[in-house]
Every structure is written in C-alpha cells, then in structure tokens.
C-alpha cells in the first residue's frame, strides 16, 4: 500500500478532495484522496495561485490559447483542414492549455470516458471522484493542463500542492488518441510547472491508467525515482478461490498468532491513534514510505487512517469487515486491516499492516482470511489491492492467498536536493 499525503487547511476544502486523489494510493492507491484536505491554492513558498506557473509555461498557455481559439474558429467555420482525418495533421490540431481556462461542463465527455476506464479496467467506481474533480474545476482550484482539440477536451493532467509537496492527481487521455504521445506532452507541461514552483520540496505521482514504461522517460529525464506497482485482485467465489484462503487460520487454535495471545476484533475507532502509530512503525525503512511520505511520520499516518475511515476517498469504509489484531496480554495493537467498497461487488484493501514485532506470525494472513469470508457472505465477488512490486514479501503473501496481478503502473517521486538535506 502507499497512500499520498497532505497537511492543514482541511477546513478550506470539502473533505472529499484530498480523499479522491489519495485514496487509490493509500494502499498505494489514489492521489484523489489527497485532494480532500490538500490546500489546492497553496503554491509553495508563498506564491499566489495565479502566479504559480513558471513564466515560460504562462507564455506557452497564452500563446496556445490564442492558437487554439484561431484553430477552433477555422474548424468550426467549415475550413477544417484534411487534418481531421489524418493522424499527423489531426495531432497538430491539438493544443495544451491551462485547465482553468475551461468551464466544468467542457470536461464532461472526458470524465465519462475516464469513468468507464476506472470501472472496466481498474474495477473502481469513479463517480465520487468525478464529483470532487468537478467541484474543484468549477472553483478553479486545480492546476494543470487540458488537451483541447476540435472535439473539445480530450485529455488532462492536473496537480495540486500540499505544503511544500506537489501531487499529480491524475493524467488521462481519451483512448481514441492512445499512442500519439499526448500523455507525455501533458505530463511534460505539468512537470515543468511543478519543478518551476519556488520552494517545492517533493513531487509524488501515481498514474494507474498507464504502464510505468509508457511514462518513465518523462520522469527519469527530470531526476525522479520510479517504482513499479501492481494492482491485484482475488475472486471471493468460484473455482479460482484460493483453497488456502478457504481454511481459516483464524480458527486454528495452534496458529502461532493465537498461541502468542493475539485476538482479532472488529474495527474500533477509539484505536485510530494506535493504528497510526503502528502503521508508522511498520513502514519504517519501507519502500512505500519513499513513495508516500505520509508513512514517514505519525502525523502522516494519522491522516492516512482518517482519510480511509472518514473521508471516503478510497471508497466507502466497511467498518464491520475491517479488523484489528490486539495482543491481549499487553493490550497493544498488533495489526490492522481496512476494507472499503469501491464497486457494488468489489471491495478494496487500502491498508494492511502488522507491527514489526508481530510480523511473520500469521496475523496478516488471518486478518485477510477472516475478512474475505465476511465479504463473500455480504455478496462481494472480488477484493482488490495495490502493492509495490519490490515489497516482495507482501507480493508473495498476496499470491499465496490467491491474488493475481491484473494491471501494473508507475509511481514517480522527486525529492529536491534541499529536501534531502544535501
């Protein structure tokens, strides 16, 4: 798992904004969750929002808008060049323009196409995120670029600021235009703007619509680190259901975790602070803490837990299925498993973590097996999660439980030299 992060000013924003972006990435999932409490207007070192773009980018978009307006006038006036039907010319008909120059309704068709992609490919209902994005677009609270052409807006890339961190919330280009390089162009503009923002310490991006390799060059050229992430799923019914997961170490009296005095209990909000402290401990020196710096502090982990449990950025929190593992003799929290509903028949695991001194006892396995039985009883047909490929132990565990990878994508991180303390 590996969510994104944020800080104060939550009061200024509807709770779902940060959630919508970051949710997907809590367990690695979505940057949209972060939008729920990110300060979308803050641009780094006290720079006013309207001045946030690097100067060349400002000039570019002004020039681009003029060119586009002229192009659209020509096209709509019936002088459409043969461009329309020929790949090369057609590509020339597109412009990349500041996202705030458009009305919300101009994004409707694109968001519809993206919702289908989330639904069909990522098994995720994107409707709540669309509401958040629309609200931010309406209030001009998103920074970023739109790919505009004769048929309207065909792609976009947006980002926002969380303190001294920039987060790319989304990148999507209509599938009809796949393979023409528009994604990389949008990304290039966004990265130039972000990297040109004074005082920015860190940039995070997780872009689930694309394979890591498709976008990697854009990031490597700009000194980002890249990570491969997997989207995995497990059917909860039918022949593919892993036999291992049917058994139930939870009931096995001789399981190691049982002998150690661990008991599994339903999620209890009063333990949320303990859960944050435990998460922070279990992700110390962990690759996911490089990808998402919320794991690198108790405050960040607290926000992760809050976002999952309260902000619904990662789907609807399933309180009755989510669990905690408690070490009875000391009453210490040993592990947590959070589950959300992301489609009517799909549950998602935004977070699973076991405290360092309790790892390897079978607690993670038991938490998940118990939850999977409950989910199946509740009519869920599958459960999904995201995991960083180099978190080999966790990948092995999920595969043993019967999970398969159905999609891979990239996570990209930039840390300024100032940020590393160099």
Ligand X SMILES: CC(C)(COP(=O)(O)OP(=O)(O)OC[C@H]1O[C@@H](n2cnc3c(N)ncnc32)[C@H](O)[C@@H]1OP(=O)(O)O)[C@@H](O)C(=O)NCCC(=O)NCCS
Span of 56-64, 111-119, 158-166, 391-399 interacting with ligand X by CB under 6 A: 391-399
Least Å distance between CB 125 and ligand X?
A: 22
By CB atoms closer than 10 A (0-12, 13-18, 19+), residue 117 is middle
Given 347, 352, 375, 415, the residue binding ligand X (CB under 6 A): 352
Judge whether 300 and 313 are in contact, CB under 8 Å: no
Among 16, 60, 206, 282, binds ligand X (CB under 6 A): 282
- Tell the smallest beta-carbon distance from residue 369 to ligand X (Å): 9
Based on the shown chain and the rule CB under 6 A, indicate whether residue 365 belongs to the binding site for ligand X: yes
285 contacts: CB under 8 Å, gap ≥ 6: none
Of 381, 355, 384, whose CA–CA distance to 368 is shortest? Answer: 384
Query: What end-to-end distance do the CA atoms of the chain give, in Å?
Result: 28
CB of 31 to ligand X, least distance (A): 17
Q: Is 258 in the site for ligand X (CB under 6 A)?
A: no
Segment contacting ligand X by CB under 6 A, of 48-56, 188-196, 231-239, 387-395: 387-395
Which listed range, 92-100, 101-109, 235-243, 353-361, lies at the site for ligand X (CB under 6 A)? 353-361
Q: Which two tokens stand for residue 132?
A: 């958040």
157 vs 249, beta carbon nearer ligand X = 249
Report the alpha-carbon distance of residue 320 to residue 311 in Å, rounded.
17
| Nearest approach, Cβ of residue 325 and ligand X (Å) | 8
Residue (of 407, 329, 306, 320) closest to 370 by Cα position = 320
Interacting span for ligand X (CB under 6 A) from 59-67, 181-189, 259-267, 282-290: 282-290
Residue pair 157/14 in contact by the 8 Å Cβ criterion: no
Write down the least CB distance from residue 306 to ligand X, Å.
Answer: 19
Question: Does residue 353 contact residue 372 with C-beta atoms inside 8 Å?
Answer: no
DSSP 75: I
Site residues (vs ligand X, CB under 6 A): 1, 27, 282-283, 286, 352-354, 359-365, 387, 391, 393-394, 396-397
């Amino acid at each position: 798992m590996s969510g994104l992060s944020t800080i104060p000013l939550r009061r200024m924003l509807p709770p779902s904004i940060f959630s919508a972006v970051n949710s997907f990435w809590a367990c690695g999932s979505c940057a949209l969750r972060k939008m729920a409490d990110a300060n979308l207007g803050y641009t780094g070192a006290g720079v006013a929002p309207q001045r946030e773009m690097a100067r060349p980018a400002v000039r570019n978009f002004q020039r681009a808008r003029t060119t586009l307006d002229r192009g659209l006038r020509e096209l709509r006036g019936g002088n459409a060049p043969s461009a329309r039907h020929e790949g090369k010319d057609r590509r020339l008909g597109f412009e990349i323009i500041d996202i705030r120059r458009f009305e919300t309704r101009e994004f409707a068709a694109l968001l519809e196409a993206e919702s289908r992609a989330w639904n069909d490919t990522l098994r995720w209902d994107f409707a709540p995120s669309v509401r958040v994005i629309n609200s931010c677009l309406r209030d001009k609270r998103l920074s970023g670029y739109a790919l505009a052409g004769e048929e309207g807006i065909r792609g976009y890339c947006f980002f926002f600021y969380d303190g001294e961190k920039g987060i790319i919330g989304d990148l999507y280009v209509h599938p009809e235009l796949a393979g023409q390089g528009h994604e990389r162009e949008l990304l290039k503009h966004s990265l130039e703007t972000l990297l040109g923002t004074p005082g920015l310490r860190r940039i995070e991006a997780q872009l689930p619509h694309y394979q890591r390799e498709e976008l990697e060059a854009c990031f490597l050229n700009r000194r980002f680190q890249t990570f491969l992430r997997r989207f995995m799923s497990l059917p909860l019914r039918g022949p593919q259901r892993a036999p291992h997961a049917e058994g139930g170490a939870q009931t096995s009296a001789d399981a190691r975790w049982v002998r150690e005095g661990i008991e599994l209990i339903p999620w209890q909000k009063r333990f949320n602070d303990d859960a944050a402290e435990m998460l922070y401990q279990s992700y110390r020196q962990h690759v996911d803490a490089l990808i998402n710096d919320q794991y690198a502090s108790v405050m960040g982990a607290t926000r992760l837990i809050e976002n999952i449990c309260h902000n619904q950025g990662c789907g609807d929190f399933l309180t009755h299925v989510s669990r905690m593992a408690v070490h009875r003799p000391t009453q210490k929290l040993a592990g947590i498993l959070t589950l959300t509903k992301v489609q009517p028949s799909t549950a998602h695991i935004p977070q699973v973590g076991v405290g360092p001194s309790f790892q390897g006892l079978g607690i993670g396995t038991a938490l998940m097996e118990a939850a999977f039985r409950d989910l199946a009883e509740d009519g869920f047909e599958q459960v999904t999660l995201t995991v960083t490929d180099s978190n080999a132990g966790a990948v092995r565990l999920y595969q043993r439980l019967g999970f398969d990878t159905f999609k891979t994508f990239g996570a990209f991180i930039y840390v300024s030299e100032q940020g590393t303390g160099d």
